Amino acid sequence: MQISINGTVHDVKATNLDELLSECGYTTDRLATAVNETFVPRAQRSTTELTANDRVEILAPMQGG
Amino acid sequence: MANTFYGLRLPSALMLGTAQYPSPAVMAQSFRESGASVATVSLRRESAEAAGQSFWEIIRELGVLILPNTAGCHTAKEAVTTAHMAREIFDTAWIKLEVIGHADTLQPDIFELVEAARILSNEGFQVFPYTTDDLIVGERLLEAGCQILMPWAAPIGSGQGLINEYGLRAMRAQFPDISLVVDAGIGLPNHAARAMELGFDAVLVNSAVARADDPPAMACAMMRAVEAGKLGRQAGPIAVRDMAEASTPVIGKAFLS
């Protein structure tokens, strides 16, 4: 199904958020996730089912003032 | 309590941002020269090259406290969600709460700011709100649960210094027991020193250091300025007068005319 990941649409096999991170090569713990503008804690990724056209945000540390 | 940051006493009154340096090595050197004990950071979409992880390794090696921000957020909802994500990534309850209301001045939207501060404080966050020098907004933020106020001195990145010194002085007088941090607008070391002379507890600087021709040198200058201003405040400045008051004794002066 098609999922938007950080603003770009991807065709993925994953059915939950945890699988999506693995499928897309995100292996570190130093990430935070949101689905459809709602924060999904690390502990809930494996139980967060994805549906077509979901919008997933994967954020990481970045420079800031 | 003034001069503490949610119970912590910091070894340095200088906080330093991590953005806009010409290179990671220059950023790290600037931190070493600054003596800063707090680094502000942000969250952004992770790249395919995992740039965020590389940045994190550099920050971790600095050995400073991490203050994540919600830069770029325009609503309380967006800022709260960003804060949740920041807490998970950086494993800290600290959050520098920014809710921007104006595109050109980056002035905070104080209505959304207070709402976000209330939500986050109730959830256990330790909120550092980027605000204006408005005293009533300060009162509302304290009522919302903030124990620190971070008024701007001037628009972010403008380098204008303390454009409303009266407002900052009034904040110090109005909130004598609250830690106050000047956040944004510092351009020169004398701006940082002046904020400390006014009795502020810390100064947060980013652009003035990162965009200087020699960032590590400017970082060192800011560190010295903050220390000078703080010591000057503690030393008890003399009262300002309109007229001169001779410093050399008059008694014993020879009659020579």
**Among B239, B209, B238, B243, CA closest to B223:** B209
Chain A residue nearest residue B69, CA to CA: A64
Question: Could you give the residue numbers annotated as active site of B?
Answer: 96
| DSSP label at residue A49 | B
Residues of A in contact with B51 (CB under 8 A): 60, 62
Report whether pLDDT(B3) > 80.
no
pLDDT digits (tens, 9 = 90+) for A18-64: 999 999 999 888 999 999 999 999 999 999 999 999 999 999 999 99
Whether residues A32 and B156 touch (CB distance < 8 A) is answered with: no
Whether residues A63 and B43 touch (CB distance < 8 A) is answered with: no
pLDDT for residue A29: 82
**Among A57, A52, A47, A44, CA closest to A7:** A57
Distance from CA of A19 to the nearest CA of B (A): 17
Among partner residues A7, A39, A65, which is closest to B206 by beta-carbon distance?
A: A65
Residues of B in contact with A59 (CB under 8 A): 43-46, 52, 85, 89
Average pLDDT, whole number, for chain B?
Answer: 96
pLDDT for residue A18: 95
pLDDT band, very low/low/confident/very high, at B132 (cuts 50, 70, 90): very high
Distance from CA of B146 to the nearest CA of A (A): 20
Mean pLDDT is lowest, of A13-17, A27-31, B187-191, for A27-31
Mean local confidence (pLDDT), B121-128? 98
Chain A residue nearest residue B41, CA to CA: A64
Provide the whole-model pTM. Answer: 0.92
Helices B215-235, B24-34: crossing angle, 10 deg rounding:
20
What ipTM does the predicted assembly reach?
0.94
Report whether pLDDT(B1) > 80.
no
